Structure 1
Amino acid sequence: MTAVDQLIAEIKALLSTGAISYNSASEGSDTYEGYIFALIVSTASRHGATVRYEDVHGAKANKLVFRTSPGQLYSTTQSYTHAVVEFDGAPPLEVHLGVRVQGTSGVLHECDVLVLSADEAALSRVQRMAPRGTHCILVVECKYYAASSLEIGLARNFEGLRADVRTQREIFVSNTRSASIVRYLDARNREFEGNVLPKSPQVGYLEAEIRRTFKSYLSKHTPSAII
């Protein structure tokens, strides 16, 4: 089984679905983003959230169609899938792949995986504008490199995104590890997790950070919630 096939199998298991748009010919970087999307959704579900899948029109998605290039959240060129996550007593959230977000400077930034309020997502679709980073609760930068090492420029780009988008939390995630990136991000007290692959111990560490994000979100809306 190839690395891509392993990621696809894990996505299907985490999302409890067999119908997804990835296949054996998909790029590793695309399926890796889908894998992180699946980890976020499954973590929410495991901690009590109800989850459903919708297309850009709000219709139920029977086959999950994932982006393989950055685009606008409100785009209707294809029926891209997002997840709607609802915890009791808190406003719903949406989880998206590969959408652009507006930074405080007005510049648009691509977010590999994004969690934001459903209200902000709805506003984006109605007004056909990129969602505002300040209304997002989590951005995950995903880096999948099969044959080469991670370059320091990737961490610098992440730092620039983090500084302008200003979400509640940003995490740098990769399938491998780079000493220079570790030193760079750690010196700036940024959240990162390397070697995140199916069945690795690092998956559990990332899921703990995702849970912490949802826990912080719930503390603002339903402090009595226990997850």
Structure 2
Amino acid sequence: MTSLADLQAAYNTLLSGYAPVASSGQANDAFEVYVMTLALRAAREEGASVSFESASGTHNPSPLRFRTAPGRIYSPANDYSHARIDFPQGLSFEAHVGVYVEGLAGVLHECDIAVIEAAEAQFCRRNWVHPKKADVLMTAECKFYTGKLGIALGREFLGTTADLGSDGRFMLSNSDGRSVDRVLAHHKRKRHFGLTPLNADSEVQVVAQFREVFRNARAKRR
């Protein structure tokens, strides 16, 4: 069983050299930060540089503070941190924990992890609006469970991706989700179950999927 301490050790290792993370002490929140660090690892392996900023513009703030509940990217209530991902050819993104994204129908969706075009994220903070799906490269729904995942979670993810699109949209969990896995496979949705820092192969598989998303984004800019 993956513990809170396991998750904290994993993301602290991946964030070594940046800043300590201010943790809420909840495993589900730690799992989201852990998944974000895997996305950053994928970006670095594809040639990006990674740094951190706060909502107010502080470069490499300390400690790093991430949302523990869904929020607005432009909210001034707390000076939350986000990662900045910069590729050599000028392609730049921000990686956020727990922000709302506006779908095709104008409905807001909570995204546990959202990798957003940097220009769009900055525009949203200046103008107090939510990021649009077209400018969100990647999202991840993160489910940290002690038991098996129910089929309702799979149906919910299908509904979300019907509005946000399925390209670059992931469902990730530490738990077993045989029924969910089957229905998402049928609908060709990206997912990975059994993700844990205690299993290096599971991390490699998820990082590989994230790398493909970044690689495709870079290819479209050539």
TM-score band, normalised by shorter chain: over 0.9
Quote the residue 1:175 is aligned against: 174
Q: Which runs of 5+ in 1 are unaligned?
A: 223-227
Quote the residue 2:196 is aligned against: 197
> How many Å apart are 1:18 and its aligned residue?
5.0
Q: 1:2 to 1:192 in 2, by over 3 A?
A: closer
Q: Distance in 2 between matches of 1:118 and 1:178?
A: 34
Q: Distance in 2 between matches of 1:104 and 1:47?
A: 29
Give CA deviations for 1:43-92 in whole Å, capped at 9, x if unaligned: 21233211110011121112110110000011111111100000100321
> How many Å apart are 1:38 and its aligned residue?
0.8
Q: Distance in 1 between matches of 2:175 and 2:202?
A: 11
Q: 1:128 to 1:18 in 2, by over 3 A?
A: closer
Quote the residue 1:32 is aligned against: 31
Q: Distance in 1 between matches of 2:38 and 2:65?
A: 17
> How many Å apart are 1:199 and its aligned residue?
3.6
Residue 58 (structure 1) aligned with residue 77 (structure 2): no
Residue 153 (structure 1) aligned with residue 128 (structure 2): no
Q: 1:80 to 1:167 in 2, by over 3 A?
A: farther
Q: Distance in 2 between matches of 1:46 and 1:15?
A: 15
Q: Distance in 2 between matches of 1:62 and 1:49?
A: 22
Q: Distance in 2 between matches of 1:168 and 1:182?
A: 17
> How many Å apart are 1:167 and its aligned residue?
6.3
> How many Å apart are 1:175 and its aligned residue?
0.1
Quote the residue 1:164 is aligned against: 163
Quote the residue 1:19 is aligned against: 20
3-state DSSP of counterpart to 1:101: strand
Contact 1:144 1:176 in 2 (8 A): yes
Quote the residue 1:188 is aligned against: 187
Q: 1:217 to 1:100 in 2, by over 3 A?
A: same
Give CA deviations for 1:92-117 in whole Å, capped at 9, x if unaligned: 10000000000111110000000010
Quote the residue 1:82 is aligned against: 82
> How many Å apart are 1:190 and its aligned residue?
0.8
3-state DSSP of counterpart to 2:65: coil
Q: Distance in 2 between matches of 1:159 and 1:119?
A: 28
> How many Å apart are 1:176 and its aligned residue?
1.2
Q: Is 172-181 or 160-169 further displaced after alignment?
A: 160-169
Q: Distance in 1 between matches of 2:196 and 2:140?
A: 15
Q: Distance in 2 between matches of 1:166 and 1:116?
A: 14
Quote the residue 2:139 is aligned against: 139
Q: Is 162-171 or 110-119 further displaced after alignment?
A: 162-171
3-state DSSP of counterpart to 2:142: strand
Contact 2:67 2:97 in 1 (8 A): yes
Contact 1:136 1:168 in 2 (8 A): no
| 4+ runs deviating over 3 angstroms | none
Q: Distance in 1 between matches of 2:134 and 2:179?
A: 29
Q: Is 163-172 or 57-66 further displaced after alignment?
A: 163-172
3-state DSSP of counterpart to 1:215: helix
3-state DSSP of counterpart to 2:153: helix
Contact 1:37 1:113 in 2 (8 A): yes
Percent identity over paired residues: 32
Q: Which runs of 5+ in 2 are unaligned?
A: none
Give CA deviations for 1:168-219 in whole Å, capped at 9, x if unaligned: 4101100011211011101101111000000411111100000001000000
Quote the residue 2:214 is aligned against: 214
